[in-house]
A and B are shown apart, each in its own frame.
Chain A
Amino acid sequence: MILNGLLNTIRKIYFSHNIVLWMTLVVLPIGVSLFTIGMFSSQIVQHVPIGIVKQDDSQLADKLEMKLRSSPVLDIKMICTDMGECEHAVVRGDLQGFLVFPNDLERRALRLEAPVIPVYSSGQNYLTNMFATKEIRSVLASAGSELFTAQMEDPVKVQIHSVGNLKSNYQGFLAFGLVTAIFHLAAMIVGVYVTSFPLRDHRVTEMIRYAGGSRLTLWVASVFPMNIVLWLETVGCYAYCHRLLAPLTFDEFVMSAAAQLFMIFACSGAGIVFVGVFGIMRMATGAAGIIGSPAFAFAGQTFPVMAMPFAVRCFAFILPLTHVLMIQSTMLLGDVDMAPAWESMKILIGMAVFWNVLGALLMSMRWKQHLRREAKMKEVKNAEAQA
């Protein structure tokens, strides 16, 4: 009886409704995630456009230019006649920076006067500027060391390793956070949609009838299928973009997937609370958007939480995304103790329980209110029909 009611309600909510539900539940989150992963398909930054102002027309300047040209990271787009030309190209966005081979570069270098090569970076694009200046420094340093001390090795060599992301692959690094952030938002939006469309379309009475008169059955039928579907999508997309990073062990995969499940529950619960508070789909979706859309900026993957002001750190703490990203990043470290991840997991479980209990209470009140309202509407309609 209960099972029948549950299945009937699930069918009514998920299989006899319009296309918007399936767009927001399946097509958009998966489509946007794959699109976002695809944007970083080149994986590393290459061919950063730079310019050269060649005031010195010597063999050494030509040799340095050749070396810069042979670097895959750099792309020499312009040889400028003066600094103004290159500067305007930077302002236009055609170049990310330029360097100046000063007058008498070769002569002064051979006389051991150490002429300085100024490198001007736009500074406006963090990633490409960082790569370009690093590469210019490395190319010129290696060319410089060949000039007088070619037979002498540098005493210290440095190797930088990014643990869990050995190739510093930006597709892996950015996408695994962004994909989780997309599903963080998706859970809120879908949570709002599934619980608010019966209110919007005045179908609460109908839904309760399908649920055998039980609000609990209606709650379970509304909440569980969307959470399960979203969770499976999250795990699938996460696994797809994680293939570019260090492989996960079974335990690590289970830990990440569990964290994602609780995140989905917590976010959809928060979306339901918005519906309970506002009672209107538009307002609840707007609130979910305002909280959920910028969550990635607060979650600490691009800019660390520890460098944010205290109030923002508190806000970041209440976002489920922050804790899921913490767990996912701990799993990147490989064969280390899993205990630290449990702290974040406990917080996520707490959030999931809190938002769902609050959401259930508020929705129960809303359903009661709408049942009364729909009954009244029906009475008015009947009275009009009789009249």
Chain B
Amino acid sequence: MIKRLWKVAFAEWKLIYTDPAAVLLLVVAGLIYAFYYPVPYVYQTVSKVPVAVVDLDNTSMSRDLIRMASAAQQIEVKSIYPEMRLAEEAMARDEIYGFMVIPENMEKDIRGKHQVTVNIFTHGAYAMFHGAIGTAFSTCALTVGATNKVKQIALSKKVPSTKAIAMRDPFPISIQTLFNSTGGYANYVVPSVLVVILQQSLIIGICVLGGSRAHRRFRKKFRDSPVENESVPYRYFGRSIAYFVHYCSFILFYHCIVYNLFDFPRRGELLPMVVFSIVFLASVINFGMVVSQIFVRRESSMQLFLYLSIPILFLANFSWPSYLMPQWMVSISYILPSTFAIPAWLSIEQMGADIYDVAPKLYQLAIQAVVYMVIGLLLTRIRDKVKIDVGDM
């Protein structure tokens, strides 16, 4: 029995490396994307974003504020303008991505104990710039405010400056990052994308190779060979083994080489990693086996799944919280292995979760695997009996 299974698996594996479309999807795509995706984010954070300051006050306090902003890591003050229009034009020319407006009479008002408002403008099209510029400028402006408030408290309450500081902020907070301590964008986005790459390339690859069908038309020479037309269980599980072993090597490659090369956190323990690989690949392979029965042409799956990559990534709850999405979309997301696989992979590999922490997500993947396996076997049996003349599958 095992010999028959391996025979089918080996024939399928050979096909993976000899069919040009399969090589492109199941070998080249997985390798190229592993380097292609992380490279843009190799510097991880945004620093020295070009910005400007509009100084309408022109006093020693405003100059202090500009000096402070110039020293900030995230931004680089490129110009100081006397009026807002010039800053707006510079932003339109993409010379700067934001600017701070120091209001007229700022120093006079602060000394006179009147509140002043410092306005910060960022380019609405870029979220990362919005965060970096907003944080840098507001930290500087609020520091100027805090210094002055401490002075006011010390003078009005007649307390030493240390006490005045404590009165201004009686319980300061200290923000610690547990798992992505550098705040790197690549650490945040790439691990999730890698899971989607594995899923999408494997599903499309299975569809391009016809899943578990017998008498595949594109296998001109071998169409009627015994290995190609084994009984349904041998064909189904034999081919699944080929994809499973092939993609286990990809997970190992990502874990050992890609993660090391790009310096992503690698906290995964052996047991949860192994269990994750088994249930995730089982779920994706069976899903691919089900979907592959729908298409009559080899390339149709590419056309469908290439479109779906973007929503699939966002449905996985890693970038935009799923509880903020409409319920019907969340329900659709339960069909996809990535919905459970991405959070499980992040928990294991990025956060060092043990098997108990990720068990609920792994159960869900296992349930998907079983359900898709049953449907896949049924569809294969039905498809074997139906005669379809169009297409190349």
> Which residues of A come within 8 Å of B, CB atoms?
20, 23-24, 28-29, 32, 35-36, 38-42, 45-48, 87-88, 90-93, 97, 99, 105, 109-110, 112-130, 133, 136-137, 140-141, 144-145, 147-149, 152-166, 168, 170, 173-174, 176-178, 181-182, 185-186, 189, 193, 245-246, 280-283, 285-290, 292-294, 296-298, 300-304, 306-309, 311-312, 316, 325-326, 328-330, 332-333, 336-337, 339-340
Within 8 Å CB of B126, what residues of A?
A: 300-301, 304, 329
User: When A24-B303, A105-B171 are in contact, do A159 and B118 touch as well, CB less than 8 Å?
Assistant: yes
User: When A163-B123, A307-B47 are in contact, do A289 and B145 touch as well, CB less than 8 Å?
Assistant: no
B240 within 8 A of A: no
Complex CA distance for A309 and B43, rounded to whole angstroms:
8
User: When A20-B303, A121-B177, A337-B89 are in contact, do A246 and B357 touch as well, CB less than 8 Å?
Assistant: no
Within 8 Å CB of B144, what residues of A?
A: 155-156
Within 8 Å CB of B168, what residues of A?
A: 144-145, 148-149
Within 8 Å CB of A333, what residues of B?
A: 88, 91-92, 123-124
Could you say which of B97, B174, B189, B308 has the most chain A C-beta atoms within 10 Å of its C-beta? B174
B49 within 8 A of A: yes
Question: CB-nearest residue of chain A relative to B169?
Answer: A144
B208 within 8 A of A: yes
| A92 x B347 contact (CB < 8 A) | yes
Pairs A–B under 8 Å by Cβ, sample size 20: A36-B310, A114-B171, A115-B171, A121-B177, A123-B177, A123-B180, A155-B152, A156-B142, A157-B115, A158-B142, A161-B121, A162-B123, A282-B20, A286-B29, A294-B33, A301-B125, A302-B127, A325-B125, A332-B123, A336-B88
* B170 in complex: contacting residue of A119, A144, A339, CB < 8 Å: A144
Which of B250-258, B284-292, B319-327, B379-387 interfaces with chain A?
B319-327
Complex CA distance for A206 and B158, rounded to whole angstroms:
96
B289-304 CB contacts (< 8 Å) to partner A: 297-300, 302-304
Which of B6-14, B128-136, B224-232, B368-376 interfaces with chain A?
B128-136
| B92 x A337 contact (CB < 8 A) | yes
| A119 x B115 contact (CB < 8 A) | no
Complex CA distance for A260 and B80, rounded to whole angstroms:
35
| B124 x A245 contact (CB < 8 A) | yes
| A160 x B306 contact (CB < 8 A) | no
| A124 x B346 contact (CB < 8 A) | yes
User: When A133-B175, A164-B123, A289-B306 are in contact, do A304 and B311 touch as well, CB less than 8 Å?
Assistant: no
* B180 in complex: contacting residue of A124, A157, A285, CB < 8 Å: A124
User: When A160-B120, A160-B122, A164-B125 are in contact, do A308 and B43 touch as well, CB less than 8 Å?
Assistant: yes
User: When A127-B320, A186-B307 are in contact, do A112 and B163 touch as well, CB less than 8 Å?
Assistant: yes
Q: A-facing mask of B310-346, CB < 8 A → 1, else 0?
A: 1100110111110111100100000000000001001
Within 8 Å CB of A122, what residues of B?
A: 177-180, 351
Which of B34-42, B51-59, B241-249, B273-281 interfaces with chain A?
B34-42
| A156 x B148 contact (CB < 8 A) | yes
Complex CA distance for A105 and B172, rounded to whole angstroms:
11
| A112 x B183 contact (CB < 8 A) | no
Within 8 Å CB of B36, what residues of A?
A: 290, 294
Complex CA distance for A280 and B346, rounded to whole angstroms:
38
| A155 x B149 contact (CB < 8 A) | yes
Complex CA distance for A298 and B323, rounded to whole angstroms:
28
User: When A39-B325, A114-B166, A290-B29 are in contact, do A182 and B307 touch as well, CB less than 8 Å?
Assistant: yes
Could you say which of A99, A303, A306 has the most chain B C-beta atoms within 10 Å of its C-beta? A303
| A152 x B153 contact (CB < 8 A) | yes
Question: CB-nearest residue of chain B relative to A64?
Answer: B171
* A32 in complex: contacting residue of B183, B298, B311, B352, CB < 8 Å: B311
Complex CA distance for A380 and B131, rounded to whole angstroms:
68
B364 within 8 A of A: no
B79 within 8 A of A: no
B104 smallest CB distance to A (angstroms): 14
Question: CB-nearest residue of chain B relative to A335?
Answer: B88
Question: CB-nearest residue of chain A relative to B303?
Answer: A24
| B124 x A147 contact (CB < 8 A) | no
Complex CA distance for A40 and B41, rounded to whole angstroms:
24
| B141 x A156 contact (CB < 8 A) | yes
Complex CA distance for A339 and B33, rounded to whole angstroms:
37
Question: CB-nearest residue of chain A relative to B196?
Answer: A293
* A282 in complex: contacting residue of B21, B92, B317, CB < 8 Å: B21
| A109 x B171 contact (CB < 8 A) | yes
| A148 x B167 contact (CB < 8 A) | yes
* A91 in complex: contacting residue of B21, B33, B174, B352, CB < 8 Å: B352
A177 smallest CB distance to B (angstroms): 8
B117 within 8 A of A: yes
